Amino acid sequence: MNDVLIRTIEPGDNAALAIIVRNTLKEFGANHPGTVYYDPSTDALFELFQTPGSIYYVALINNTLVGGAGIYPSEGLPADTCELVKMYLLPAARGKGLGSRLIEKALAFAREAGYQKVYLETMPELSKAISVYEKAGFAYLPGPLGNTGHFGCSIWMLKTL
Average pLDDT value over all residues in the chain: 93
| DSSP per residue, the chain | -TTEEEEE--GGGHHHHHHHHHHHHHHTT---TTSGGG-GGGG-HHHHTTSTT-EEEEEEETTEEEEEEEEE--TTS-TTEEEEEEEEE-GGGTTSSHHHHHHHHHHHHHHHTT-SEEEEEE-GGGHHHHHHHHHTT-EEESS--S----TT--EEEEEE-
pLDDT attached to residue 93? 94
Q: pLDDT tens for residues 94-137?
A: 999 999 999 999 999 999 999 999 999 998 988 889 999 999 99
- Asked if pLDDT for residue 35 goes beyond 80, the answer is yes
pLDDT attached to residue 2? 63
pLDDT attached to residue 32? 85
pLDDT attached to residue 135? 95
- Asked if pLDDT for residue 152 goes beyond 90, the answer is no
Q: Which fold has domain 4-160?
A: Aminopeptidase (3.40.630)
- Asked if pLDDT for residue 53 goes beyond 60, the answer is yes
- Asked if pLDDT for residue 84 goes beyond 60, the answer is yes
- Asked if pLDDT for residue 10 goes beyond 60, the answer is yes
Q: How confident is the model at residue 148 (pLDDT cuts 50, 70, 90)?
A: confident
